[in-house]
Chain A
């Protein structure tokens, strides 16, 4: 069983389009995250939700909007896609929201290519 799953795995689209990436975790975790990994392989957090409540919102363009319908799902919608949005987007989940030793489990990633 896949613990954290993302769809699609690959996404190729043109500039200006709107697209969504979906994430689901079956670990029973309360907290979920979206990360962006750029071409230099550097991972940076974008958003974090705890039990459907937004708790971390980094400096991300308004074109990115996360949605958490329930604590097992965290989707990422991107409006008016730009070339610079091309990256690998990872979803992750953890049991707790605290900054303690809460382990994070990552999904397989979604490679977004904007042409």
Chain B
């Protein structure tokens, strides 16, 4: 079982609508949780990074929340645009002995925004 699970697997919404993507993780202890956006045929691009002590972080129309007690995070997208169509990946950075920046990736949510 993957240590970072995301839901839904895919989502279709109309332009202008809001949506929320979910992430459940078992990675522990962890240093930070990130959300990445990956456009088709491109590399992932960071949207937000939250340390375990942060509850929320915004980046424009993207707002991420984190509940370290329940090990859940969500990414809320407001007033969706066609350009939001992409895969959104939840990533957890575990604390490793000896250092090393080894990220654990979720399976992603494929979002499609339609007219």
Report which A residues bind B (CB closer than 8 A). Answer: 4, 31, 33, 40-45, 48, 55-56, 90, 92, 94, 96-109
Contact = CB atoms under 8 A, between A and B. Distances in A.
Interface residues of B, number: 27
Interface string B73-93: 000000000000001010001
A55 B100 contact: yes
- Kindly list the 7 A-B residue pairs having the minimum CB-CB distance in the complex, ordered from nearest: A106-B43, A43-B105, A99-B96, A99-B31, A106-B44, A98-B99, A102-B101
Contacts, number: 71
Given A99-B95, A100-B32, A48 B101 contact: yes
Given A41-B107, A94-B101, A101-B49, 18 more contacts: A31-B101, A41-B108, A43-B44, A44-B105, A48-B102, A55-B100, A56-B100, A90-B43, A97-B100, A97-B101, A99-B31, A99-B93, A100-B32, A101-B32, A101-B93, A104-B103, A106-B44, A109-B41
B105 A42 contact: yes
B31 A108 contact: no
